[in-house]
Structure 1
Amino acid sequence: MDFHHTSVMPEEALAALAVKPDGVYVDCTLGGAGHARRIAGMLSPRGRLIGLDQDEAAIRTAKERLADASCRVDIVRSNFSALASALEDCGVTAVDGVLFDLGVSSHQIDTPERGFSYMQDAPLDMRMDRTRSLSALEVVNAYEEAELCRIFKEYGEERWAKRIAAFIVEAREEKTIETTGELVDVICRAVPKGVRRAASGHPAKRIFQAIRIEVNAELEILRDAIESAVHALAPGGRIAVITFHSLEDRIVKTAFKALARGCVCPPGLPVCTCGHAPEIKILGKAKKPSAEEARENPRAKSAKLRSAEKLPGGAPSA
């Protein structure tokens, strides 16, 4: 199956990065190389693109689609949590731009055997990096009821988290829940019929999101990855982050605010003694996809793009 993924807000992302022809840029979430190809197309032979992804299929596809790039291209199989070490391995001490396009790719959703979709029956998996040991199968069948409830509430913001967790535990006592279809059946039984009829989305959507986030530790690593990316930026360099749900966006917004903050002394001190200087300048409010893009690509509807620029005042540390 070809790796298909429609890049979200590509023009807005390129504008946010303000790509310099001779610059060094990092795509932390290569996917189908949609954003990466656009960046590479704006770089001269003296420019450099470094791409990271933990999905083996994405790595193979990116190598093919970037083979004709005129700039130097380095593709690294790695989670973006290891950005600093990836840059060190590439011999890079500072970069001009970093892009994150978070969440699950269209290819992962549309490949049934990956187990990301609640619309197709498949083995429970949801691992972006298939070398990881933890899968959705283990989460669903081995987590305690209270822990299931917690991740459904925190990562899925699911109103019926407690009831769904209880139904899952009851169902797995009779038989291991092995497929996405079996899990969807349990979720649908747990959510009252009246709620299901009134809801605008599928009753399993938030639960699948929560399990996927837990399996891939998506939120745990995000804040540190943003800080690492900002530290790697040269003065004037840009960071752009595309998120797809409120939990991701909240983390990005909070991280940007903290990095843009100056003095952190306790209120009331007559003079600043901390010497803390802001690292970035936030570039306006979050941007959303155009109405036309949202119509053509339904998966773009919830996207938000936030960007910031590295301020002078110290050597970057990769």
Structure 2
Amino acid sequence: MSADKQWQHTTVLLAEAIDAIATRADGVYIDGTFGRGGHARALLARLGAQARLFVFDKDPEAIAEAHALAAADPRVTPVHASFTAMTEALAERGITQVQGVLLDLGVSSPQIDNPARGFSFRFEAPLDMRMDTTRGETAADFLARADERQIAEVIRDYGEERFAVSIAKALVARRTGGSPVRTTSELSQVVARAVKTREPGQDPATRTFQALRIFVNAELEDLEQALTGSLTLLAPAGRLVVISFHSLEDRIVKTFIARESRATVDRRAPFAEPKPMKLKALGRIKPSEAEVAANPRSRSAILRIAERTAERTEA
């Protein structure tokens, strides 16, 4: 069985996302997280011959698949980079406005299910966790250099783990004893001994693995930067469509849309006209019961939709 068949990805909220974003058949669009191309292919099927689709991904395997799609469809332009680079990448090509930005956050099934990537405690593998395997620090490298306070902060802040201090102490103690954690199973075992209780059905290591993955890939910082970039790029009536999979991501998206959906008053000039809102929130969608039954990994997904207002006073 080939790797492509073995590590397949089921696209979440596919119809809902495409219905939300595909407002102009001849528009310019961004898929900021190509993954295995489920959303991109469905969007292309709704677009006309003059449309353009820029697809971004940090993962070399994903971007290789994007290049294969581009070879068959001249409307597609792959960019091997984080979606934080989209404003710059489009500016280099003379594009300053787009009709839609789609961000499908988190980790894809092929990344989770491929043991070599080190994302999952279900498989024995080097503790890597980088989405872009060509650059950056691995999770094992971070645990080898960080002090107890830094490790605890990462696990607490990005994993919402109440036993973060105990886990950090155990990891540092093991490292001090000459056996730093280098594999997924070693990390899982350390966490299992340090975590006293856990919700039924949840592996003790779940929150720690999530925390390290988010930290290593700067996921939350990148998300905040990408949302700001989207606001700069969206044309009037252009759509921002974001699918998140955990509360930390969704909180950032929800807060951003809420903030940009309000008119703001300059307190230094209280009698001046308020600055108009830049976005209009259009909705929040959860997967249907049928989708969750067919793809349990979709159960935590939340899709949020916002539309750029006609006013672009900052331009």
TM-score (norm 2): 0.94
Alignment partners' CA distance in 2, 1:122 and 1:227: 36
Q: Which residue of 1 aligns with 2:34?
A: 30
Q: Which of these residues, 3, 10, 13, is aligned with residue 14 of structure 2?
A: 10
Q: Which residue of 2 aligns with 1:273?
A: 272
**8 Å Cα contact 1:263/1:274 also seen in 2:** no
Give the deviation of 1:315 after TM superposition: 7.1
1:183-222 aligned at under 5 Å gives the runs: 183-192=187-196, 195-196=197-198, 199-222=200-223
Alignment partners' CA distance in 2, 1:80 and 1:225: 6
Which letter does structure 2 place at the counterpart of 1:313? E
3-state SS of paired residue (1:96):
strand
1:238-277 aligned at under 5 Å gives the runs: 238-266=239-267, 272-273=271-272, 275-277=274-276
3-state SS of paired residue (2:173):
helix
Say yes or no: does 1:84 pair with 2:87: yes
3-state SS of paired residue (2:29):
strand
Alignment partners' CA distance in 2, 1:153 and 1:291: 32
Which letter does structure 2 place at the counterpart of 1:158? E
Say yes or no: does 1:104 pair with 2:103: no
Alignment partners' CA distance in 1, 2:115 and 2:100: 34
Q: Which of these residues, 278, 282, 302, is aligned with residue 304 of structure 1?
A: 302
Give the deviation of 1:201 after TM superposition: 0.6
1:257-284 deviation line (CA, Å, top 9, x unaligned): 11111023449x8x54264111111102
Structure 2 CA distance for partners of 1:10 and 1:109, relative to 1, 3 Å: same
Structure 1, 10-19 or 36-45: larger mean CA deviation: 10-19
Q: Which residue of 1 aligns with 2:232?
A: 231
**8 Å Cα contact 1:232/1:316 also seen in 2:** no
3-state SS of paired residue (1:26):
strand
Alignment partners' CA distance in 2, 1:13 and 1:229: 16
Count of paired positions: 310
Give the deviation of 1:200 after TM superposition: 2.7
**8 Å Cα contact 1:233/1:310 also seen in 2:** yes
Alignment partners' CA distance in 2, 1:272 and 1:39: 45
Q: Which stretches of structure 1, 4 residues or longer, exceed 3 Å deviation after superposition?
A: 65-69
Which letter does structure 1 place at the counterpart of 2:169? A
Q: Which of these residues, 42, 45, 62, is aligned with residue 41 of structure 1?
A: 45
Give the deviation of 1:89 after TM superposition: 2.2
Q: Which residue of 1 aligns with 2:23?
A: 19
1:206-252 deviation line (CA, Å, top 9, x unaligned): 00000001100001121121011121011011010000000000000
**8 Å Cα contact 1:10/1:35 also seen in 2:** yes
Gaps of 5+ in 1: none
Gaps of 5+ in 2: none
Q: Which of these residues, 280, 288, 291, is aligned with residue 290 of structure 1?
A: 288
